[in-house]
Amino acid sequence: MSNMQSIMDEGAEVLFQNYRSLPLVITRGEGCRVWDDAEKSYLDFVSGIAVVNLGHAHPAVLRAIREQAGRLMHISNLYVIAEQVKLARWLVDHSFADRAFFCNSGTEAMEGAIKLVRRHAWAAGHKESPGVILVAGNSFHGRTMGALSATMQPQYHTGFEPLLPGFKAVPFNDAAALRASADEQICAVVLEPVQGEGGIVPATREYLETARALCTERGVPLVFDEIQTGMGRTGKLFAYEQFGVEPDVMVLAKALGNGFPVGALLAREEIAKCFTPGTHGATFGGNPLACAAALATCETLADGVIAHGARMGALLRGKLEDLAGRFPFIKEVRGMGLHLAAQTDVDCKPIILDCIERGLLVNAIQGKILRFVPPLVVTEDEIDEAMGILEGALEAQGDRS
């Protein structure tokens, strides 16, 4: 028997009311399924918002956490942390980067990146004014003040002004506008290879190539926010590999620990060297437990999971496109790998609630965009089951319309 209502009532009394939580209490998960407090099961095509890429309760990650928790969970960066070194080595060996810094979340990683590029400008002699960071329109980089200032969606800004100065928005996927904005005042360009909270909108190759060329010409860092796209979500370990364009700095989080909180800031040596002792830090950043979970996640993803996810992404996209052909209110299916969205012209909340009732978790971006980000271990049968549920919910929406 569910005690959801009593939990929700108590939450309304003691929690900040800054989330629009759906009426569902999830108590456990395994693979691509979760169960509520009444033991009803659901296919999870939200994955904690693209976090549990290996699925819930993956044995390799659980084993790493249990073993590490029995040895050492925290010691601080006053001392060398072996697990941190191992994780940094793996990420450096599998990316463009030379060095890694660890923190606890995506927004922390972005804060670190903002500080790093400004410190880089300072070290280059721009002592009075470090310059302007170019960011894309409709971007989302986090909710702390630096990351929020880099986020170009006004609805997140209301009530928090004044934001930090030194950011300038340029239209996403407009290479000409980007080039026109890249004057001698810029100190970095920060972009998402695929805009996540902007609606799962991939960048064009031309746009990213233009950004790379401009940053090289100006001698400033190109920063990629791969918090949502990293760790195999788009069909490659990192989304930048899909475009053949390497950044100088990259931020990761979400799927890096498969649900255990951990973020990372990666950079080339010439940029990373700008952080010297005392310039940046995090008490819990790179703790042994987080790094053990992340290393197990990385090693498991690389063992065929990403390739499987790419195949399942092609399958899921095809099925979504078939549904779009049947339901006129679906205007577009877009994305890469298992990072997919269906743009609609209707309020998606009734669809989401109907899916929950039928046993499928999906969510919406900006009200009218359905997002599909199942674990990379999802199977063909699970995709078929999910699309059957979605079809029923879409039919009900058509009846409402």
Q: pLDDT, tens digit, for every residue of 326-366? A: 999 999 999 999 999 999 999 999 999 999 999 999 999 99
Predicted confidence (pLDDT) per residue in 109-145, tens digit:
999 999 999 999 999 888 777 789 999 999 999 999 9
Annotated catalytic residue: which of 44, 225, 248, 354? 225
CA distance 110 to 101: 12
Domains 4-58+305-400 and 59-301 share a fold: no
82-116: b or e for each residue (b if 16 or more CB lie within 10 Å)?
ebbeebbebbeeebbbebbbbbbbbbbbbbbbbbb
Please indicate whether residue 183 is annotated as part of the active site: no
Average pLDDT, the chain: 96
Percent of the chain exceeding pLDDT 70 equals 100
Task: Tell me the DSSP string of 238-283.
Answer: STHHHHT---SEEEE-GGGGTTS--EEEEE-HHHHTT--TTS---S
Task: Tell me the DSSP string of 342-397.
Answer: EEESS--HHHHHHHHHHTEE-EEETTTEEEE---TT--HHHHHHHHHHHHHHHHHH
Backbone angles phi, psi at 227, to 5 degrees: -60, -45
Query: What's the burial of 331, exposed, middle or buried (CB within 10 Å: 0-12/13-18/19+)?
Result: middle
pLDDT at 195: 98
H/E element, 224? strand 222-225
Please indicate whether residue 284 is annotated as part of the active site: no
Q: Is the pLDDT confidence value at 1 over 70?
A: no
CA distance 328 to 344: 9
Please indicate whether residue 254 is annotated as part of the active site: yes
For the residues 25-41, what does the mean pLDDT come to? 97
- With tokens 């070194």, the residue in question is 85
Annotated catalytic residue: which of 44, 254, 275, 319? 254
**Lowest mean per-residue pLDDT among 12-16, 122-126, 175-179, 332-336:** 122-126
Q: Is the pLDDT confidence value at 267 over 70?
A: yes
Q: Which fold has domain 59-301?
A: Aspartate Aminotransferase; domain 2 (3.40.640)
Query: What's the burial of 376, exposed, middle or buried (CB within 10 Å: 0-12/13-18/19+)?
Result: buried
pLDDT at 129: 78
Q: Where are the domains of the chain?
A: 4-58+305-400, 59-301
pLDDT at 126: 82
Backbone angles phi, psi at 274, to 5 degrees: -75, -20
Annotated catalytic residue: which of 45, 96, 101, 140? 140
Superfamily of domain 4-58+305-400: Aspartate Aminotransferase, domain 1 (3.90.1150.10)
CA distance 178 to 28: 46
